[in-house]
Amino acid sequence: MYAQIFLGIWMLVNAGFHFFKLKFFLRKSVISILSEDELASYQKGSVLPYILLGILIIVMGIIEGKELLSTPVFIGVYIILASIPFALLFRNNKKHSGYYFW
């Protein structure tokens, strides 16, 4: 439970770095490949997926700690809900780099 909460907080921090256009956690290959305008657009497109993923991980960690759902239902809901932010991240990577992964 606590690992999920800290991972969710990390995703929210990562979203904050992208929102303020800080380059602390961007790979050097990403910085070198993209121009300044494309890099700003890439970071702007990464904010929402990281916020959604952070909130989802925190909420699901709390739900897991309270044991509100059975294990198969919990896993199914987690997969379905997490697929949305991951799809947004993959789309953002594909849009700016031409690849789904860097």
Q: What is the pLDDT of residues 10-69, one digit of tens each?
A: 999 999 999 999 998 888 888 888 999 999 999 999 999 999 999 999 999 999 999 999
User: Quick one: pLDDT at residue 70?
Assistant: 95
Please identify which residue in the block is written with the tokens 């602390």.
24
Whether residue 102 has pLDDT greater than 70: no
Q: What is the pLDDT of residues 67-91, one digit of tens each?
A: 999 999 999 999 999 999 999 999 9
CB-based contact 101:93 (threshold 8 Å): yes
- pTM for this predicted structure: 0.90
User: Quick one: pLDDT at residue 59?
Assistant: 97
CB-based contact 34:98 (threshold 8 Å): no
Count the residues in the chain.
102
Alpha-carbon gap, residue 33 to 38, rounded angstroms: 9
Residue 12 has φ and ψ, to the nearest 5°, of -70, -35
Residue 8, amino acid:
G
